[in-house]
Amino acid sequence: MDDWQGMEAIRNQRTLLANTAIEGVGYWSGRDIRVEFRPSDPRKGIVFVRSDLPGCPRIPAVVANRVEMPRRTVLRSGEASVEMVEHVMAALAGMHVDNCEVWVDQPEMPGCDGSAQPFVAAIQRAGIVEQDAPRELLVVRQVVRLGNEECWIEARPAAGGKTVIQYELDYGSGNSIGRQSLEMTLSPRYFDLSLASSRTFMLQHEAAALREQGLGQRTTFNDLLVFDADGPIGNSLRFPDECVRHKILDMVGDFALANCDLAGRFAAYRSGHRLNAELVRAMLENSSALKRCA
């Protein structure tokens, strides 16, 4: 039985109405960074442009350009790379902005408050316009599963061309994060109101280890959530389950590297950027599991 319900899931591509910019500090480098989002033509996708390098090299935001790095999503094309793109990609995908040039003057995106909300706000300031071209859609038609008992991710068919995401977070016992679970149906409104403002998080000993490596020297407890035994240090939660919401936000950003909409039910247990990207690769390669529509 084909769970795809027809052409109602196909939408037109969208881009920005005007240029918009945001400035911030890089989590890893501690450098001041300026990012400018510019409108782009249909079928161009999301492309990062390194304005600080000779010739302004371009890095298309596709899974083939992803390189493995701890705790973040990194893209590389030729000798040029850009780090920590997941929150920008989540903001664009969550708000259905399909074609955009992202000009950045450093090899890293700014951390801002640890969420995608500052990027969403910039997108909303610019405005969004529909384009005269259909957005390609990949529909999951059979189960694709990766990982093991400790961490896994899977895609299954879902009725009505919807994107349903479920995540189970399990930090075990002896910490204030514990276990959290959430299932949601992705839409721009839900993303804006319920996901975009959820922030990056880590345990106190993880933050201390990064500092010892010389990383995050300008990052404070106000810039992300750092948990000790009692909860976030010097900060307060925006949602009781903010951590699992942020894991879903990361999934949205990583799934955007498919460069198309995805229709299906996606479930994950303790998955991270690597498994998220591997699922995207598997779905793009597994034509028998998918129905491509445009």
Q: What gap in Å lies between CA 84 and CA 72, rounded to an integer?
A: 5
Q: Look-up: residue for tokens 């109101």?
A: 193
User: What are the φ/ψ torsions at residue 55 (nearest 5 degrees)?
Assistant: 80, 0
> What angle separates helix 242-255 from helix 86-94, to the nearest 10 degrees?
80
At residue 152, what is the residue type? Answer: W
Residue 246 bears catalytic tag: no
User: Of residues 87, 96, 246, 273, which has the active-site annotation?
Assistant: 273
Task: Name beta bridge partners: 100.
Answer: 39, 46
CA 195/CA 191 separation, integer angstroms: 5
Contact 103, 18 (CB under 8 A): no
Residue ranges in 57-216 assigned as alpha helix (H): 86-94, 117-126, 188-190, 204-212
CA distance linking residue 181 with residue 196, whole number of Å: 17
Active-site annotation, residues: 273
